[in-house]
Structure 1
């Protein structure tokens, strides 16, 4: 299992389980348009491997999954409550993301633990609407062993020619082996 596998499992866990519905994107360009909000963007920007010892490729790996949630809210007709609505939408999204990822059976059965969870919320009112962004990071610890690094890709051996260099004027012994069926 590697960072890409973890990212795919997180995307699967988030799809249709939050207010973003099917608008869970990974990988994709990060600029988004308001027609897809709320939306979740998933990436794995950090992957840290710590060796478990000598002579074997075995690692305790921590993959950081970054989930960016984006919402947009307008002020009401009588109230300037767009920022409040955006903040509440982000708080709800944060809780939904946390539950969806941590309660994912597929993830839980393939990893060692959820090492750490961090989240921040930011609301910006510079435009016509209030733009809100959730930055949710979860460190997922998992094992990577020899099975994750093997088999090494090689060219199959099809045959072999063996010849022995002999002095001039003597017979050159040799053999040709065809390993095809």
Structure 2
């Protein structure tokens, strides 16, 4: 399972437990099962990840991954002239609630190396009888990814080399000194 699904789960739990305007209307699926009466609501996705090598000059696959945690919040207000400004005020409040819920979530903070960036967009539209607003926040979550070419290799592929079964160490010492040595049989339990 991709690590980003774990990060997404932490964000959903943080948003559901943080008393945002959405309350428990926080969804982690790309299938957003909401209609206008369900607003305010939040959709949490973690749809993209980029890995950059941190092992410059080495063939060992070690990366710094940045996952994009995408959070979309929707609200609605009346269609009256005051509806637009009221929705804008709700969006500003919603944005702050989402930002603080995610950036203070201890399990999420412990699971990443750092928050690399946060991008935010807002949009308001008038839809006949009411105004609707949406805030979209993308969080860049950095974390290390180390791939062990031996132990992480799929079992269906041939082995990369002969497994190490025994190590024998000896030292050269002056004449008359007891000869030290060490034998290690592998694998050890």
Alignment of 1:24-173 (within 5 A): 24-30=26-32, 32-53=34-55, 54-75=58-79, 80-146=81-147, 151-152=152-153, 154=155
Deviates more, 1:112-121 or 1:9-18: 9-18
Deviates more, 1:106-115 or 1:30-39: 30-39
Mind listing any 5+ residue stretches in structure 2 that lack a counterpart? 157-189
**C-alpha deviation, 1:31, in angstroms:** 6.3
Work out the CA distance in 1 between the residues paired with 2:147 and 2:135: 37
**C-alpha deviation, 1:5, in angstroms:** 1.3
Deviates more, 1:67-76 or 1:87-96: 67-76
Cα pair 1:2 1:144 within 8 Å, conserved: no
What stretches of structure 1 move > 2 A for 4+ residues in a row? 54-57, 149-155
Work out the CA distance in 2 between the residues paired with 1:3 and 1:150: 22
**C-alpha deviation, 1:10, in angstroms:** 1.0
Q: Please, what TM-score do these two structures have when normalized by structure 1? A: 0.76
**C-alpha deviation, 1:35, in angstroms:** 2.1
Cα pair 2:79 2:129 within 8 Å, conserved: no
Work out the CA distance in 2 between the residues paired with 1:82 and 1:16: 28
Q: Please, what TM-score do these two structures have when normalized by structure 2? A: 0.73
What residue is the counterpart of 2:11 in the other structure? 10
RMSD: 2.1
Mind listing any 5+ residue stretches in structure 1 that lack a counterpart? 156-181
2:46 match: secondary structure: strand
After superposition, what is the alpha-carbon deviation per residue over 1:127-178, rounded to whole angstroms, capped at 9, x for unaligned?
211010101111111111137x9545548xxxxxxxxxxxxxxxxxxxxxxx
Work out the CA distance in 2 between the residues paired with 1:113 and 1:31: 32
Task: Count the aligned residue pairs.
Answer: 151
After superposition, what is the alpha-carbon deviation per residue over 1:82-139, rounded to whole angstroms, capped at 9, x for unaligned?
1111111111010000000101111111111101111111110132110101011111
